[in-house]
Structure 1
Amino acid sequence: MSPKSDLRQTLLTQRKALDPYRWEQQSKRLCQHLRYCSLFRQAQTILVYWSVRREPDLSSLWTLPKTWGLPRCQGQDLVWHRWALGQPLVLGAYGIWAPPSQAPSLSVNLVDLILVPALACDRQGYRLGYGGGFYDRLLATPPWDHIPTLGIVFTANQVDQLPRDPWDRPLGGVCTEEGVQLYGAPRSDA
């Protein structure tokens, strides 16, 4: 196994073991920090994710007057759809709830901020995902490569440095239940 694979297994096991009450409380605190983050406040259209495997739960934000986008896996790519609380979802790839394929798509030129799920983020803004490369491919391609990004993790999953591959790109910042840290990477300058 590679260092990333070993780390993924360890982090997934730890996160799944998180007490449900503590998970809920940490998620709420994380969302409070997002509400006060200037990138979030200024954004009109925000891409989010449906929480699985004890990822931080962002659902308390979905009643805010923003335009929300949720992804759907299509082959090796993420396709984004406009979504609002109460609209239908279907069980998609990897057991993740996603908008149905006929839901209205969301144009990249409308997106102001991407909240990126991660197993871990390091202090330079690099993230460890699940290994499918969906976000790495998305964030490496124009016109997606300039949109501000925030990695979303609990503090326990923020580490000093992650193993990196040549295709890994840093996020603009990270939000945890303890606050938001912006890194000044190219995608955080919007």
Structure 2
Amino acid sequence: MLKKELRKSLLKKRRSMSEIEWREKSDRLCYHLQNFSLFQTAKTVLAYFSFRQEPDLSLLFTNTEEKNTFPPKNWGFPRCVEKSLVWHIWQPGNSLQKGAYGILEPESNAPLLKSSEVDLILVPAVACNVNNYRLGYGGGFYDRMLSQPEWSSKTTIGIVFEFAYLPDLPIDSWDKPLDFVCTENGIMNN
């Protein structure tokens, strides 16, 4: 199946989930992330705001009862600027705006985040496969970013629901595998 067809099919399946199923799966996914040692020790984490029933990570950054066993997090969220992602520091309570694609993002005057400050990247995806390759949304934002030297060494976790964790995906020459994949059933690495 071609990327475009697979993407359309999986997005349709994701949108067909009930609100309750989506919330439960998102919360279980967050539970696995919260208990993952690389997440626990990370000081600065790049994340995303859920859009069109992507797994919702808000439990991670709105949970005020963070365990004392790991440091509080600095959070980075992207703004889409032309063909690039610009990362800003964001904390609960900071203002948000809708960006070019209708996705919530920090305001343009929010403090910028440098790649050197980042410990972990939670990468949104339509699907991931057992070899940790990712099927994105077709814009190439993350592919371009993760191929740049300053980002390529950062630890990445693809975020998908279990139904989108597949044995195989169509792969292009520019696709790079992620380090891990997290679903509501746990964290997998290749």
Distance 1:93 1:138 in 2: 18
Match of residue 119, structure 2, among 93, 112, 135: 112
Partner of 1:173: 180
- RMSD, aligned α-carbons: 0.9
2:96 corresponds to which of 84, 89, 96: 89
Partner of 1:45: 44
Deviation at 1:86, TM superposition (A): 1.2
Alpha-carbon distance between aligned partners in 2 of 1:104 and 1:182, rounded to the nearest angstrom: 33
> Could you say which residue in structure 2 is the equivalent of 1:31?
30
The corresponding residue for 2:137 is 130
Does 2:19 match 1:20?
yes
Aligned to 1:74: 81
What residue number does 1:57 align with?
Answer: 56
TM-score of the superposed pair, with normalisation by structure 1 = 0.94
SS of alignment partner, residue 70 of structure 1 = strand
Which residue in the other structure is 2:69 paired with? none
Equivalent residue letter for 1:109: S
- Whether 2:149 is the aligned partner of 1:142: answer yes
Give the Cα separation in 2 of the matches to 1:138 and 1:84. 23
Residue identity (%) = 52
SS at match of 2:48: coil
Q: CA deviation at 1:154?
A: 0.6
Deviation string 1:95-153 (CA, Å, 9 cap, x unpaired) is 10001111100011010000000000000000001000000000000110000000000
Task: State the secondary structure of the residue aligned to 2:149.
Answer: coil
Deviation at 1:182, TM superposition (A): 2.0
Q: Which residue number in structure 2 is paired with residue 188 of structure 1?
A: none
Three-state SS of the structure 2 residue aligned to 1:71 is: strand
- 1:60 deviates by 0.5
Q: How many residues align?
A: 182
Aligned position for 2:10: 11
Structure 1 residue runs of 4 or more that deviate by more than 3 Å after TM superposition? none
Letter in 1 for 2:13: Q
Give 3-state SS (helix, strand or coil) of 2:152's partner. helix
Give the Cα–Cα distance (whole angstroms) in 1 for the partners of residues 117 and 37 of structure 2. Answer: 18
The residue type equivalent to 2:172 in the other structure is: D
Three-state SS of the structure 2 residue aligned to 1:137 is helix
Unaligned runs of 5+ in 1: 184-190
What one-letter code is carried by the residue in structure 1 that aligns with 2:182?
A: C
